[in-house]
Amino acid sequence: MAPMLEAWANVIVSGLIIGGIYAVVAVGLNLQYGLMRILNVAHGEFLMVGAYLTFWGTTLIGTSPHLLMPAVFVVLAVTGFALHAVLFRPLARVAPNPEVFEARGLIVSFGLMFIVQNAALLAWDADLRGGQGSLEAVRLGTLVVNGDKLLACAIALAVGGAMILWLRLTLVGKAVRALMQSPVGATLVGIDVRVLHPLVFGVGLGLAGLAGALISTFYTISPSIGQPYTVTALIVITLGGFGSVSGSLIGGVLLGVIEAVGVELTSPSLKMLLSYLVFVAVLIARPNGLFAR
């Protein structure tokens, strides 16, 4: 391969890999918003908690981070059930209409964001931890890829695929989709909102924790890593369309490639500027996502 082409192939591949991880960062938030109109801006904070659980688990117990991932998912999913019961169910009960619920839900998630982030700062201080990785680099033809990132991307895509299958093939998944399409109609045929809302909120938090666990295998972590990932998730969701899981997968990969190529063409200091530019442009021009018909 010509060196020029090879350099670009490297850029695209690293963009695809980080994009796969972005996808799983976004899926949980997208499910929550798509089903319940809760835009949980504390999403990144729960990702950060997942990263810390994985870090402490591997440091204290000494197991591999990948074995801990199911446990991290479960811990955060249970947290999600509890939060839904304590906060969002009462909120939905007193809100006069869905628009007011949406606004108040957003404010409550901002409150959660402050609480979780600062509790983490109190508990674990602002130091950077972990991030050394455990796998060796992988050769794909002439390309060299970070092994930890590649494995994380594979797990992320597998989880994303499993989510799509769950929504398409299982009865619970179909009920969730029915509720997204028509809350009134779905309730009329006997789909129980009181079961599915906490369930999906929990799954959303669990996926955030899982994404954090994946990220902790190759990046250093600190209590402030969450917020940028919330923004990433928001951008991915805007690209892929609110409520669409497959849209999130494509949107995540797309954002990964856009960032990688954009940074290569300009400079690393422009990464955030680029992301926000994409975000604002898509929201203004195609608020229902790039793939909306």
Partner 1 sequence: MMRAYAPVAVAGVAAALLPGLGSPYVLSLTLTCLMYVALATSWSMFSGATGYISFGTAAFFGLGAYVCAWTLDWLPWPVVILGGAALAAAFAAGTGGMILHLRGTYFAVLTFGLAELVRHAMTYGEKQYAGTVGRMLTEVPSDLVVYYTVLALAVAAVAIAVAVRRSRFGLALAGIGADEQRAETLGVPTRRIKIAGFTLAAAVAGGIGAAMAVRWTYIEPLAVFNPFIGLQTVLIAMIGGAGSIAGPVVAAILFSLIAEYLRLQFPYAYMIALGLLLILSMLYLPNGLAGLWRRAGRVNR
Question: Please, are residues 214 and 50 in contact by the beta-carbon 8 Å criterion?
Answer: no
Q: Check residue 115 for interaction with partner 1 (CB under 8 A).
A: yes
Question: Please, are residues 150 and 17 in contact by the beta-carbon 8 Å criterion?
Answer: yes
Q: Which range, of 64-72, 98-106, 139-147, 175-183, touches partner 1 by CB under 8 A?
A: 98-106
Q: Check residue 279 for interaction with partner 1 (CB under 8 A).
A: yes
Virtual CA dihedral for 11, 256, 263, 152, nearest 10 degrees?
Answer: -60
Position of tokens 């929504």?
Answer: 167
| Smallest distance from partner 1 to CB 120, Å | 9
Q: Nearest Cα to 49, choosing from 124, 106, 142? A: 124
DSSP string, 141-152: TTEEE-HHHHHH
Binding mask 26-45 for partner 1 (x = CB under 8 A): -------x---x-x------
CA 94, CA 274: separation in Å to the nearest integer?
A: 40
Site for partner 1 in 46-65 (CB under 8 A): none
Q: Check residue 113 for interaction with partner 1 (CB under 8 A).
A: yes
Distances (CA, A) of 108 to 35, 129, 268: 17, 29, 34
Q: Check residue 117 for interaction with partner 1 (CB under 8 A).
A: yes
Q: Check residue 263 for interaction with partner 1 (CB under 8 A).
A: no
Is 5 buried (19+), middle (13-18) or exposed (0-12) by CB count in 10 A?
exposed
139 three-class SS:
strand
Q: Which range, of 57-65, 102-110, 143-151, 154-162, touches partner 1 by CB under 8 A?
A: 102-110
Nearer to partner 1, 9 or 274 (CB): 274
CA 216, CA 124: separation in Å to the nearest integer?
A: 15
Q: Which range, of 116-124, 166-174, 183-191, 214-222, touches partner 1 by CB under 8 A?
A: 116-124
Q: Check residue 90 for interaction with partner 1 (CB under 8 A).
A: yes
Nearer to partner 1, 107 or 137 (CB): 107
| Smallest distance from partner 1 to CB 112, Å | 7
- Binding residues (CB under 8 A) for partner 1: these are 33, 37, 39, 87, 90-91, 94-95, 99-100, 102-104, 106-108, 110-115, 117-119, 121-122, 231, 234, 238, 269-270, 272-273, 276-277, 279-280, 283-284, 287
